[in-house]
Structure 1
């Protein structure tokens, strides 16, 4: 998901998206630790999406 798409969403959606991404990140880390993760690039994509959501939330908090 791109940052410009995230900026058009409301805070409740962003917090829910962040929660979902953190759960997905945890699951991917567990699969990596148990050597069940085939596509390791998923881990990096989820980390970047988490960073994007947190950045947009921080930008909205600083604007007010």
Structure 2
């Protein structure tokens, strides 16, 4: 499984972007909880979620700078 592509993120509206950020943060929380309680999970999902979150935050920041 490859890392998420930024092309998918660039076309999102501000509202969709905020919703996606919230969803990825929830997913990361659930993955960390699974890791902490020794439940089975695919460890690469943490890396992919963190990568996706960084993409989303970068796009959000660039959108805010464009508005100023």
- Is TM more than 0.5 here? yes
| Distance (whole Å) between structure 1 residues aligned to residue 41 and residue 6 of structure 2 | 27
Q: Check conservation: 1:28, 1:37, Cα contact below 8 A.
A: no
Quick one: which of 42, 46, 49 aligns to 2:45? 42
| Distance (whole Å) between structure 2 residues aligned to residue 2 and residue 44 of structure 1 | 14
TM-score scaled by length of structure 1:
0.91
TM-score scaled by length of structure 2:
0.86
Deviation per residue, 1:23-58 (Å, 9 max, x gap) = 000000000001113311111110110100000000
Taking only aligned residues, the RMSD between alpha carbons, in angstroms, comes to 1.0
Query: Displacement of 1:63 after TM fit?
Result: 1.3
Flag structure 1 segments of 5+ consecutive residues without an equivalent. Answer: none
Runs of 4+ in 1 over 2 A off after TM superposition: none
Q: Check conservation: 2:31, 2:41, Cα contact below 8 A.
A: no
**Structure having the larger proportion of residues in helix:** 1
Quick one: which of 39, 51, 56 aligns to 2:54? 51
